[in-house]
Amino acid sequence: MEKVAQKSRTKTFTDYMRIWFKDVLDPIGAFFNRIGVTPNMMTLLGLLGNVVGAWFLAQGNMLMGGVFVLICTPFDALDGTMARLRGEANEFGAFVDSVTDRYSELFILGGLLYYFTTHNDHISTIVVYAAAAGSVLVSYIKARADSLKFDANVGILTRMERYLVIAPLLLFNQPVIAVWIVAVLANITALQRFWKVRQQARKQA
């Protein structure tokens, strides 16, 4: 059953982006491998860069925060590429990558949460919480579904789409619009994944 689930696994926009940009990522990943940067170092650089970006966001500097998010989040794709080129890709590496991705996203939203809180923007503060909850649920539902051999790889706002929403809008100093889009669409994505698992479970019943 596991082999069947893997073969029929639905590709997300993130999966397609990795395929489309493979010819770009491979040379960049090979370059970093040659100069001695390891995949784990790239993962940590991405996390630390997003922490710095979150600090700028907390201070209200949306431009600099957006620049760090824009530059550092793609490290998520590079670390996996580098590990594959080294022949070192493994499940633990993918696990570490997923965990740091969640931390990066929560740091970014945490920076915005602090900013809105200190500016007494109570509505946006609640919206950031909803965005964080939706983002975590999108990942959790997929992870839980995978553990039960279900395919939950669907949804209109996966990790890549959230990045494409947040980074540009921060650069244009539109954090409120960014968190509203993520709050609404991430939770819709979580429900889409829940519904897809439910349909598969009913077929097996």
pLDDT in tens, 103-122: 999 999 999 999 999 999 99
Q: Give yes or no: 15 in active site.
A: no
Q: Tokens 């839980």 correspond to what residue?
A: 144
Q: How far apart are CA 59 and CA 24, in angstroms?
A: 34
Taking every pair of Cα atoms in the chain, the longest distance, rounded to a whole number of angstroms, is 53
Distances (CA, A) of 201 to 7, 69, 149, 152, 204: 18, 38, 10, 12, 5
Could you tell me which residues come within 8 angstroms of residue 105 by beta carbon, excluding any fewer than 6 positions away? 50, 132, 135, 159, 162
Q: How far apart are CA 205 and CA 203, in angstroms?
A: 6
Amino acid letter, 1: M
**Annotated active-site residue in 101, 121, 146, 151:** 101
Average of per-residue pLDDT across 16-22? 69
Question: Can you give the pLDDT at residue 197?
Answer: 96
3-state secondary structure of 153: coil
Confidence of residue 3 (pLDDT cuts 50, 70, 90): very low
Phi, psi of 151 (to 5 degrees): -105, 115
Report domain extents, the chain.
2-204
Could you tell me which residues come within 8 angstroms of residue 24 by beta carbon, excluding any fewer than 6 positions away? none
pLDDT surpasses 80 at 57: yes
Q: Which CATH class is domain 2-204?
A: mainly alpha
CA angle, residues 160, 165, 166, in degrees to nearest 5 = 100
Confidence of residue 174 (pLDDT cuts 50, 70, 90): very high
Question: Can you give the pLDDT at residue 152?
Answer: 92
Q: Tokens 């200190």 correspond to what residue?
A: 118
